[in-house]
Amino acid sequence: MTEGEALAASSAREDGSRRDGWRMRLAGAALGGVGVLLAASTTVWPTRVFAVQVPEVGDFTKGYEQRIWSWGRQVVYSSDGVLLDGFGGPNPVARLVLLVVVLVLAAASLATWVVVPGRRGELTAAVGLGLALATVTGSVVERVSFDDRSMGPQPGLVEITTTAAWLEVVSVGVLAVTLALMVVPVVLLGPSAALERRVALVLQRLKAPRADAALRADAAPRADAAPGSTHTPSVGFSDDPD
Amino acid sequence: MGTVRDGPAGRWLGPGVAFVAILLVVPSLLSPTWEMSVSDREHGSLLSRQWEWSWGRVRVTGLEGVELRDDWNPIALAVLVVLLVAALVGVAAWASRRVEWGRGAALVTLALLTGRVLTTVADRLGRSLGEVDQGASGLTVRSQMTTAGTLETVAAVVLLVALVLIVATAGLGGRVVELGATQAPGPRSAVGAGEPAGLRPAGEHLASSPVSFDDTGKPDEIRRP
């Protein structure tokens, strides 16, 4: 093999490796994007509903339904479906703005990860994912650790966890996995490289039977050699001085 | 790499800012960040006081300081403690420069802490926006952010600055490495330029396939009977 051919082969292999890296980043970003989308559902739908099904005697509302969003919005409806606007709580706009900004930043950082190779893209994506993960986890922890007793004695109170709340929990898991996939190869460089090599070896062995068959066909002296026999040995024997 | 990337001042600027930000969050662990008092306008007597911690503890006292309620939120407290400790470890790893992953660890742990702090700060901001006027009922309601709350709000800003510093200096470092790689002669330079600050050793992918073929040992046996 001439020097030019060796350089061409080397650059082809480099191109392949770069394409593999791009594919990996794209897969990671897609996974993170799913997490962001799942979290985004909580901006629209409430995550928790408190309903009083059995009204007390003399209660003019005849029961009520309190819908709570992960970002703090609270709306109370009577059991007749009338909005009780006398309810006043903390203004949730600041937290909604924060949630939207953080999710948009996370999506932008994932796009940066795909487009910008190397450490800078990774770090940008890690910041976006970390912010999103902490914000979404914060509201999940807030919901899970909420103590019903703080609402005072309410007979007939039923707590309902909505679908959006479960999507939010799944989002925390997906975002955490994406962040781990990004961070673990950096933090545990040795073990992850060893694992990667082992996986590559296993894949190679899975491909080996096909290569064996092709080689056996090649070993038999035949005028019309098997067409698949040329590409596999060309990798293994190219460096041989013979 | 670190010495090339940053000067003596730049080396300590990022970790220093991050460390200050973490310290600013610590008071909110111990002290309430929000305080509300309800008093009778005519007599001026204090009817009730309420303190809220950023991690969810709520303490309410009634007339003459009698404690009416003190609810803790241990899960949220544990989360905050874990995030603070993780951020400290991350920043320490980054400052020591002994480990390659220090910058990444600092960035992730600080981002997590920033997300948590921003949430509570936004919560408190919304609380002050949604102030209920109790003037008509003859009560005076006074609510305010405590010193710990103010420090936590400042911490959110400082944490954001620290994050920007980490990403900005990392980008600079990447460019320096890329420049060095293109100037270096030999076959390794092409790999270095392609992956300016990649996670794998240069040329690892080139080395892997011949090794795996040699391990099987089958092609040689078949070719040389």
Query: What per-residue confidence (pLDDT) applies to A130?
Result: 94
Confidence of residue A214 (pLDDT cuts 50, 70, 90): low
Find residues 99-118 of chain A whose CB sits inside 8 Å of chain B. 102, 117-118
**Greater model confidence, A158 or A238:** A158
Query: What per-residue confidence (pLDDT) applies to A189?
Result: 67
Query: What per-residue confidence (pLDDT) applies to A21?
Result: 76
Give tens-digit pLDDT for A72-110: 888 888 777 778 766 566 788 899 999 999 999 999 999
Query: What per-residue confidence (pLDDT) applies to B198?
Result: 43
Quick check: B91 pLDDT over 60? yes
- Calculate the alpha carbon distances from B144 to A178, A217, B53, B148 in Å: 39, 85, 13, 11
- Stretch among A129-133, B124-128, B183-187 having the lowest mean pLDDT: B183-187
Question: Are residues B53 and B108 both part of a single domain?
Answer: yes
Query: What per-residue confidence (pLDDT) applies to A152?
Result: 66
CATH code at A72?
Answer: 1.20.140
Residue A239: CB atoms within 10 Å: 10
What is the average pLDDT score of chain A?
Answer: 78
A175, exposed or middle or buried, with CB in 10 Å at 0-12, 13-18, 19+? buried
Question: Are residues B21 and B96 both part of a single domain?
Answer: yes
Asked if the structure places residue A221 within a domain, the reply is no
CA distance A166 to B6: 45
Find residues 33-62 of chain A whose CB sits inside 8 Å of chain B. none
Question: Are residues B20 and B87 both part of a single domain?
Answer: yes
Closest CA–CA distance from residue A231 to any residue of chain B (Å)? 13
Closest CA–CA distance from residue B189 to any residue of chain A (Å)? 12
Asked if the structure places residue B34 within a domain, the reply is yes
Query: What per-residue confidence (pLDDT) applies to B68?
Result: 87
Residue B106: closest CA among B184, B193, B21, B222:
B21
**Greater model confidence, B200 or B143:** B143
Mean pLDDT value of segment B203-219? 47
CA distance B133 to B139: 9
Question: Are residues B209 and B98 both part of a single domain?
Answer: no
Question: Are residues B137 and B193 both part of a single domain?
Answer: no
Number of domains in chain A: 1
CA distance A137 to A175: 10
Question: Are residues B150 and B111 both part of a single domain?
Answer: yes
- Calculate the alpha carbon distances from B143 to A23, A78, B61 in Å: 53, 30, 15
Give tens-digit pLDDT for B9-36: 667 888 899 999 999 999 999 999 999 8
Could you give the percent of chain B with pLDDT greater than 90?
A: 37
- Stretch among A83-92, A206-215, B51-60, B119-128 having the lowest mean pLDDT: A206-215
pTM, two decimal places: 0.72
Mean pLDDT value of segment B182-197? 41
CA distance B72 to B69: 10
Residue A110: closest CA among A181, A25, A24:
A25
- Residue B80 belongs to domain spanning: 2-174
Question: Are residues B223 and B198 both part of a single domain?
Answer: yes
Asked if the structure places residue A235 within a domain, the reply is no
Select from A149, A186, A237 the Cβ nearest to the Cβ of B199.
Answer: A186
Asked if the structure places residue B179 within a domain, the reply is no
Quick check: A178 pLDDT over 90? yes
Asked if the structure places residue A203 within a domain, the reply is no
Mean pLDDT value of segment A184-200? 73
Query: What per-residue confidence (pLDDT) applies to A209?
Result: 63
Quick check: A232 pLDDT over 50? no
B74 touches A at CB < 8 Å: yes
Residue A119: closest CA among B178, B205, B182, B87:
B178
Query: What per-residue confidence (pLDDT) applies to A111?
Result: 95
Question: Are residues B98 and B30 both part of a single domain?
Answer: yes
Quick check: A224 pLDDT over 70? no
Question: Are residues B67 and B40 both part of a single domain?
Answer: yes
Query: What per-residue confidence (pLDDT) applies to A229?
Result: 44
